[in-house]
Structure 1
Amino acid sequence: MHRGSCLCGAVKIAVEGDLPRPNACHCVACRKHGGHYGASLEVPCAALHVEGEDFVRWYHSSEKVRRGFCRICGSTLFWDPLHHDWTAIAMGMFDGPTDTSLSMHIFVSEKGDYYEIADKLPQNET
């Protein structure tokens, strides 16, 4: 079981099972939502347990996706594609070791000009 929370602790999560490898997303929307590129991993909805759901607010950033954040502290929490049976959890939510590592960079065509991607992971333009 992997546990985590937002900055203020109002929203807590527990994820059953091993965590998959996360992606680093450099798209404009992720950078604006989180302040830098976003790192998140996808888990089946059935494996995710959320405590404090009343504190989660959703922003529909497109017709297909909503982004969850804590209404108290503003922490980035979720990237949730509508009509799917999984959601993405922001890596910053996890407490303690995750026993995983980045798998790739996505939307590198939109990355900020103020940093370089220096690791040797795959980079997808979109």
Structure 2
Amino acid sequence: MTKEKSKVTSGGCFCAAVRYEIKGQLRGVVNCHCSQCTKLNGNFGAHSKALKSNITITRDKGLSWYKISDTAQRGFCRECGSGLFWDNIEQNTLGIIAGSLDSPTNLKTIGHIFVEDKSDFYEITDNIQQFKGSSEGKLEGDFL
């Protein structure tokens, strides 16, 4: 078994009512600047991603899901309010709020999406790839 496939990454919410483990590969971090992420995070949302089959919820005392569309839901802790997951129920991957991962993550930011919708109180000043809307699967690891 390769080192990447045997790697286990853990994470959870602020109050530890929700904990999870991910076996194997995580996608790099994508900063989403859409209006939903802005409302939910107070700024952009920083998201990694993994195969759903590689994610195990090890403690779910506070885990709740909020349906945001016909195809998507957000996972959060109802005890402390921490955002944890973004789930397109039609895909085999689960978006993971990067800040909920235990450090060190060893992840790098690989892109910005929905930059056309970003708030006006900050600028994107790095040289990382930007997309007006979705990356449409053009970022490494989008489909794992």
How high is the TM-score relative to the length of structure 2?
Answer: 0.84
Deviation at 1:116, TM superposition (A): 0.5
Choose which of 36, 39, 54 in structure 2 pairs with 1:32: 39
Amino acid at match of 1:105: H
Q: Does 1:43 align with 2:50?
A: yes
Matches within 5 A, 1:57-96: 57-96=64-103
- When Rg is computed on C-alpha atoms for both structures, the one with the higher figure is 2
Q: Which runs of 5+ in 2 are unaligned?
A: 1-7, 134-144
Which 10-residue stretch deviates more, 45-54 or 110-119?
45-54
Contact 2:22-2:54 at 8 Å conserved across structures: yes
Amino acid at match of 2:99: G
- Matched with 2:127 is 120
Moved >3 Å (runs of 4+):
none
Q: Does 1:98 align with 2:143?
A: no
Deviation at 1:2, TM superposition (A): 0.9
- Matched with 2:28 is 21
Structure 2: distance between partners of 1:18 and 1:68:
20
Amino acid at match of 1:14: E
Q: Which runs of 5+ in 1 are unaligned?
A: none
How high is the TM-score relative to the length of structure 1?
Answer: 0.95
Size of the aligned set, in residue pairs, is 126
Which 10-residue stretch deviates more, 53-62 or 6-15?
53-62
Identity of aligned residues (%): 37
